[in-house]
Amino acid sequence: MSNDVFPLVSVNHVHVAFGSQSILTDINLTVNSSEIVTLIGPNGAGKSTLVRTVLGLVQAVTGTVKLKSGIRIGYMPQKLLVESFMPLSVYRFLSLTKGTNNTKIQTIAKDLGIKHLLQSPMQAISGGELQRVLLARALLCDPDLLVLDEPAQGVDVMGQEELYQLIVHIRDTRHCGILMVSHDLHLVMAGTDSVICLNKHVCCSGLPEAVAQHPEFVKLFGLHEPAGLAVYTHRHNHRHDIGGDVCT
């Protein structure tokens, strides 16, 4: 129980550079259990680099990345392209996860609605289906922390909403922490506990509502809609089940 007090991840004053080019400066970030933290920012802001630093794929020049000891991380990469010369079914892809078994794969496939895809070749499924398969793979290791790099990529708008609802649902049922990169401001925010607006440094961070009205955020993304609207999900949604309790 006492272990729950510590965050899953804490990034302290991290600085990342490739060669002489500075990518990230003085980044602080924590993710707790049952918390969704969303990273947003323009292209080239270093969102993926920050995620990769948390995962240990990129080393920080200075600063520290602390992970809770014994943490299991489920990672959903931004892109995954299976070479067409490799015969690989969705089932086989999922079964490559360490420490998984058939029962687990069947259960998670059912939860994510990809059961009918299990025997399909990885190359034959659509973009939206692939994202679900990747999410399933990330969930197979029973993660304490889910790291999702642009999970809604290549998914149409309706599919995106469903996917984000699914992510919120995963947080609510599994109580794992979620660190997510997104370029989509409108759909993401409702389920998010904390938003970090990144542009090589942390421009602003906090509750979605606060970030959306922060001058630095407005400077980066403009104010195409009334600021308040940006935090609403389901602008075009007629189902009001999850997250539909719109705050005004």
Partner 1 sequence: MYLDFVTRAMIGGVGVALVAGPLGSIIIWRRMSNFGDTLAHSTLLGVCFALLLNIDLYIGLIGISVVVASFLAFLSQQRLIASDALLAMISHSTLALGLILATVLPGVRIDLLGYLYGDILSINETDLIWIYAANILALFVLAKLWRSILSLTINEDLAAVEGVPVVRIKWILMIVMAIVFAIAMKLVGVLLITALLIIPASGARQFSKTPEQMAVFASILGMLSVVCGIFASNYWDWPTGPAIVVSATLIFIVSLVFGRFYK
Q: Which residues bind partner 1 (CB under 8 A)?
A: 52, 55-57, 73, 75, 77, 80, 82-83, 85-89, 92-93, 96-98, 137, 141, 147
State in angstroms the smallest separation of the CB of 106 from partner 1.
Answer: 18
Q: Do the beta carbons of residue 128 and residue 155 sit within 8 Å? A: yes
Q: Report the distance separating Cα 195 and Cα 212, nearest Å.
A: 9
Closer by beta carbon to partner 1, 2 or else 84: 84
State in angstroms the smallest separation of the CB of 45 from partner 1.
Answer: 19
CA distances from 171 to 38, 64, 193 (A): 13, 26, 11
Alpha-carbon radius of gyration of the chain: 18
Taking residue 162's Cβ as centre, other Cβ atoms within 10 Å add up to 17
Residues 6+ apart with CB under 8 A from 139: 74, 108, 112, 146, 170, 174
Closer by beta carbon to partner 1, 12 or else 89: 89
Closer by beta carbon to partner 1, 141 or else 157: 141
State in angstroms the smallest separation of the CB of 136 from partner 1.
Answer: 13
Closer by beta carbon to partner 1, 83 or else 241: 83
State in angstroms the smallest separation of the CB of 65 from partner 1.
Answer: 14
Q: Report the distance separating Cα 98 and Cα 95, nearest Å.
A: 8
DSSP string, 19-85: TTEEEEEEEEEEE-TT-EEEEE--TTSSHHHHHHHHTTSS--SEEEEEE-TT--EEEE-S-----TT
State in angstroms the smallest separation of the CB of 216 from partner 1.
Answer: 30
Closer by beta carbon to partner 1, 130 or else 231: 130
State in angstroms the smallest separation of the CB of 232 from partner 1.
Answer: 34
Q: Report the distance separating Cα 98 and Cα 211, nearest Å.
A: 38
